[in-house]
A and B are shown apart, each in its own frame.
Chain A
Amino acid sequence: MARRDTPEINAGSMADIAFLLLIFFLVTTTMDVDTGISRKLPEKQPEDIVPPVLKEKNVFEVNINRNNEILVEGDQFMKVDQLREAAMKFIDNGGGKDADGNDCTWCKGDKDLTSSDHPKKAIISLQSDRGTSYATYIAVQNELVGAYTVLRNRYANEKFGKDFDRLSNEQQKVIQTDIYPQIISEAEPTK
């Protein structure tokens, strides 16, 4: 008799309770993915190191002053949107030979003797001021990295018929080290 009298627990409100919890988690969930520009800092150099001698034509100098104005190669004022093209022109010039004496067969630049010899030798040097705004700094970095991305994609499409991002790790590595290595050097900012 007692068994029959035990009433079933009313589960009708279960849905309400679950909904309440669901709404709580829905509201607190943040699904943001962190994105950003990845860079690797140079290792700490010993004090007495002798910097390697570079030819001036192999260095693409970018200066940003405290008024967020950009000076390229010491004599041209540029807006950020012109920077990518200028950097590409410099990297892709291929006017000479690399350290092993090989020509840059994949370069499509002007082969200008006064610009960079080879993408492996081309160095982008970036110097900013302490007072430069972070937004400008990021924009410039973005354009410089973008120049490499465009060139790498172009090469990847010609050689493999795919974008750089879709290549296998080995293929990416070859491009990163032997075809268009990304050499961006940052000087200490001026005070």
Chain B
Amino acid sequence: MSKFQKKKKGMPGISTASLPDIVFMLLFFFMVTTVMRETTLKVQFKLPQATEVKKLEKKSLVSYIYVGKAKDLPGDQIQLNDRISSVKDVKTFIFGERATRKEEDIPYLTTSIKADMEANVGTITDIKIELRDINALKINYSTRKGSALDNIKN
């Protein structure tokens, strides 16, 4: 019994018993907010800047097309899902994206084009023509927030 009566006098130490609870709370917060990157990027791109930007809402209704430079290939490359593809595959890609969504959501599907600053407008236009052909009309040019004038250094 004397074991329990050995009490120290003076300031008691701060209880760390609730530390795990606090940490767990933070842990759950980050677990819930984490979005793992679904695609590995095969192309490199630096997004242009713009001021008149809108936030893309409802990420589940967005499909991404990446345009940029690839390691060993010349010119602009288009990446759909995990592969480097050609413009002709855009239609198949969008149909595939549509198949995974609910039917009533299809008109709200947005295609976000993440293209490199140095890409050619021709490549982007080719993609846009493909998208128009299959009636995927909502697009979004992905940009960073910043002055558009920084894009062009005269």
> Could you give, for residues 22-54 of chain A, a 1 whenever the CB lies within 8 Å of some chain B CB and a 0 otherwise?
100110111101111111111110000000000
CB proximity of B83 to chain A, nearest CB, Å: 22
Question: Between A and B, how many residue pairs show CB distances below 8 Å?
Answer: 162
Min C-beta distance of B122 to chain A, whole Å: 3
Contacts of A191 in B (CB 8 A): 122
Chain A contacts for B36, CB-based, 8 A: 28
Known A-B contacts A139-B48, A146-B51; A22 and B121 likewise in contact (beta carbons under 8 Å): no
B36-83, CB < 8 A from A: 36-37, 48, 50-56, 59, 62, 67
> A21 an interface residue at 8 Å Cβ cutoff?
yes
Give A19's nearest chain B residue, CB to CB.
B23
Q: How far is the CB of B68 from chain A (nearest CB, A)?
A: 10
B132 close to A43 (CB less than 8 A): yes
Contact indicator A43/B135 (Cβ below 8 Å): yes
User: Which single member of A19, A79, A134 contacts B117 (CB below 8 Å)?
Assistant: A134
B84 at the interface (CB under 8 A from A): no
Stretch in B6-14, B25-33, B91-99 with 4+ CB within 8 Å of A: B25-33
Q: Which residues of A contact B137 (CB under 8 A)?
A: 40-43
Check A189–B48 contact: CB distance below 8 A: no
CB neighbours of B131 from chain A (8 A): 41
Q: Which residues of B contact A11 (CB under 8 A)?
A: 20
A18-B27, A22-B27 known; 12 new pairs, CB 8 Å cut-off, are A15-B16, A30-B37, A36-B143, A42-B132, A131-B120, A133-B117, A133-B121, A138-B50, A138-B151, A142-B50, A142-B51, A142-B52
Q: Beta-carbon contacts of A115-139 to B below 8 Å, as 1s and 0s?
A: 0000000000000111111111111
Give the docked Cα–Cα distance between A105 and B18 (Å): 67
A149 at the interface (CB under 8 A from B): yes
Tell me which residues across on chain A come within 8 A of B62, comparing CB atoms.
34
**Is B24's beta carbon under 8 Å from chain A?**
yes
Kindly state the separation between the CA atoms of A126 and B20 in the bound complex, as whole angstroms: 59
Inter-chain contact A21/B27, CB cutoff 8 Å:
yes
CB pair B128 A135 closer than 8 Å: no
- Across-interface contacts of A139 in B (CB, < 8 A): 48, 50, 148-149, 151-152
Taking a contact as CB atoms under 8 Å apart, the answer to whether B120 and A37 are in contact is: no
Q: Is A86's CB within 8 Å of the partner chain B?
A: no
The answer to whether B52 touches A145 (Cβ under 8 A) is yes
5 contacting pairs across A/B (C-beta < 8 A): A35-B55, A138-B151, A139-B50, A139-B151, A142-B143
CB distance from B66 to the nearest CB of A (A): 13
**CB contact between B27 and one of A25, A40, A64 (< 8 Å): that residue:** A25
A2: interface (CB < 8 Å): no
Q: Cβ of B1: which chain A residues have Cβ within 8 Å of it?
A: none
For B52, give its contact among A37, A132, A188 (CB under 8 Å).
A37
Flag whether B144 is at the interface (Cβ < 8 A).
yes
Residues on B with C-beta less than 8 A from A44 are 132-133, 135
Are B148 and A143 in contact (CB-based, < 8 A)?
yes
**Cα separation A22 to B21 with both chains bound (whole Å):** 12
Asked whether, in the complex, the Cβ of B140 is within 8 Å of the Cβ of A15, the reply is no
